[in-house]
């Protein structure tokens, strides 16, 4: 493994926050193509004293906000490749699914691109999501009507406490809205391999209103997989900052779930407020309505095209992001009685 002390994290988080970690460990070897090298490094890691200080496994850093220097060890895994055997799981009679096995560091969008090339269906709605597949599992990332939980078959992880290995079924991953067992037991599991279950037949998922509206606007009745990918990509980029221009962590808050009474009252007062099944509200709408869209506080801002996204307006610190988030949270609570919780992980 490669060990660096007092390492700058500016390039290891998409917010571009300029702090340092006391130590960063890179595990070498592709998790699939060079498993011996990778496992050798894992062995070395497990034998080392990394547990004596705080530690964290990080992906591409697309959902992290560092508020200060990290006084511990960050662990990052090596390059990722993928294996697609293309076989269906239960022999000739099960013709529904195609499986792809992928190293945890494979970028999610790259994986979508590959799946489209193979004509394996089911993850095209996750196009243009930043970060890698391992992190997408941890967060149960979702967009445009599809979540990781819908396409995960198994997840292989190393128990950093005991050193043992374990394979989890999707059910054992305990997926919820932007959460999983791996998020709940943060620090315990190092995900290194994920098996995806995709469909052999294309059944586009067009339940998400913005996607359905856009298809209708373009007069596309039966989209191809590539068209879904292209439109989702365009929709996302029309709302989010370009990473090369402004750092961000995508949605900063989760869409809040409230009780029935509050949901009903708010809907009565604001008939145009989006209300999703299970009394889930739109954090973006609430923040927008509270007047925060496009505002900045210090060097942190609320993205002018999507109020759910906080961004680095230039040289911003993690603390400035947190201060802005707290001001928004307080205001939304006062105006609507709704408590917002961050989706991003604040460290
Ligand atoms: N809205 C506003 N003003 C805003 C933003 C949104 O009024 O500034 C309204 C929109 O008009 C729309 C509703 O809020 O009626 C929902 O907006 P949008 O479709 O943009 O989706 P979202 O609920 O804000 C969620 C995910 C995104 C994901 C999109 C598309 C969460 C926290 N966010 O956003 O995920 O891409 O749906 O599926 O669930 C992420 O997790 O990082 C992320 C970007």
Looking at residue 24, its pLDDT comes to 95
Q: Using CA positions, which residue lies closest to atom 1 of ligand 1?
A: 285
Q: What is the pLDDT of residues 161-183, one digit of tens each?
A: 999 999 999 999 999 999 999 99
Ligand 1 centre to CA of 320 (Å) is 23
In angstroms, the CA 293 to CA 301 distance is 8
Beta carbon of 60 within 6 Å of any ligand 1 atom:
no
Q: Using CA positions, which residue lies closest to atom 9 of ligand 1?
A: 285
Beta carbon of 288 within 6 Å of any ligand 1 atom:
yes
Beta carbon of 252 within 6 Å of any ligand 1 atom:
no
In angstroms, the CA 282 to CA 277 distance is 11
Looking at residue 89, its pLDDT comes to 46
Intra-chain end-to-end CA distance of the chain, in Å: 24
- All residues at 6 or more sequence positions from 36 whose CB lies less than 8 Å from its CB, including other chains: 29
Q: Do 30 and 38 meet the contact criterion of CB atoms below 8 Å apart? A: yes
Beta carbon of 143 within 6 Å of any ligand 1 atom:
yes
For the ranges 114-118, 145-149, 191-195, the one whose mean pLDDT is highest? 145-149
Helical ranges in 218-309 per DSSP H: 225-239, 260-269, 283-289
Residue 190 parent element (H or E):
strand 189-199
CATH 3.40.1050.10 for domain 86-199, yes or no, is: no
- Please check the confidence at residue 125 and state whether its pLDDT lies above 80: yes
Structure tokens at 310: 């906080």
Angle between helices 225-239 and 209-217 (to 10 degrees): 110
Q: Do 75 and 45 meet the contact criterion of CB atoms below 8 Å apart? A: yes
CATH 3.40.50.300 for domain 248-346, yes or no, is: no
Q: Using CA positions, which residue lies closest to atom 16 of ligand 1?
A: 282
- Please check the confidence at residue 216 and state whether its pLDDT lies above 90: yes
Using alpha carbons, select from 235, 35, 197 the residue that is nearest to residue 121: 197
Q: Where in the chain is the domain with CATH 3.90.78.10?
A: 248-346
Average pLDDT, the chain: 92
Using alpha carbons, select from 82, 77, 66, 71 the residue that is nearest to residue 15: 66
Beta carbon of 293 within 6 Å of any ligand 1 atom:
yes
Write out the catalytic residue numbers: 178, 251, 343
Looking at residue 146, its pLDDT comes to 97
**Architecture of the domain made up of 2-77:** 2-Layer Sandwich (3.30)
Report which ligand 1 atom has the smallest distance to the Cα of 250. Answer: 42
What average pLDDT score do residues 12-36 get? 86
Q: Where in the chain is the domain with CATH 3.30.43.10?
A: 2-77
What average pLDDT score do residues 191-215 get? 94
Structure tokens at 325: 């988030």
Q: Where in the chain is the domain with CATH 3.30.465.10?
A: 86-199
Structure tokens at 37: 């090298």
Q: What is the pLDDT of residues 250-286, one digit of tens each?
A: 999 999 999 999 999 999 999 999 999 999 999 999 9
Put simply, whether the predicted model's pTM sits higher than 0.95 gets the answer no
Q: Using CA positions, which residue lies closest to atom 36 of ligand 1?
A: 143
């Amino acid at each position: 493994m490669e060990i660096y002390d007092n390492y700058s994290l500016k390039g290891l988080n998409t917010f571009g926050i300029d702090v340092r970690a006391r130590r960063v460990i890179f595990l070498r070897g592709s998790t699939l193509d060079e498993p011996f090298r990778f496992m050798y490094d894992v062995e070395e890691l497990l034998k080392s004293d990394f547990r004596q200080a705080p530690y964290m496994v990080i992906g591409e850093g697309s959902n992290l906000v560092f508020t200060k220097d990290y006084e511990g060890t960050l662990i990052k895994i090596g390059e990722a490749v993928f294996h697609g055997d293309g076989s269906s799981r239960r022999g000739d009679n099960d013709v529904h699914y195609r499986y792809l096995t992928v190293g945890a560091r494979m970028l999610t969008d790259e994986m979508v691109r590959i799946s489209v090339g193979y004509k394996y269906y089911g993850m095209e709605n996750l196009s243009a999501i930043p970060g890698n597949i391992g992190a997408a599992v941890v967060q149960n990332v979702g967009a445009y009507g599809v979540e990781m939980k819908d396409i995960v078959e198994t997840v292989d992880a190393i128990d950093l406490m005991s050193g043992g290995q374990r394979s989890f079924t999707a059910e054992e991953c305990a997926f919820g809205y932007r959460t999983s067992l791996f998020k709940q037991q943060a620090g315990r599991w190092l995900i290194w391999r994920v098996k995806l279950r995709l469909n052999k037949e294309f059944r586009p998922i067009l339940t998400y209103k913005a996607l359905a509206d856009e298809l209708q606007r373009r007069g596309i009745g039966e989209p191809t997989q590539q068209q879904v990918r292209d439109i989702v990509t365009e929709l996302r980029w029309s709302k989010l900052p370009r990473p090369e221009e402004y750092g961000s962590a995508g949605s900063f808050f989760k869409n809040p779930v409230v009780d029935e009474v509050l949901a009903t009252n708010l809907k009565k007062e604001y008939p145009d407020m989006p209300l999703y099944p299970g009394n889930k509200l739109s954090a973006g709408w609430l923040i927008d309505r509270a007047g925060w869209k496009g505002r900045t506080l210090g060097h942190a801002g609320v993205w002018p095209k999507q109020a759910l996204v906080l961004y680095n307006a230039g040289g911003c610190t993690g603390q400035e992001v947190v201060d802005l988030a707290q001001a928004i949270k307080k205001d939304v609570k006062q105006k609507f009685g709704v408590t917002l919780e961050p989706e991003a992980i604040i460290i």
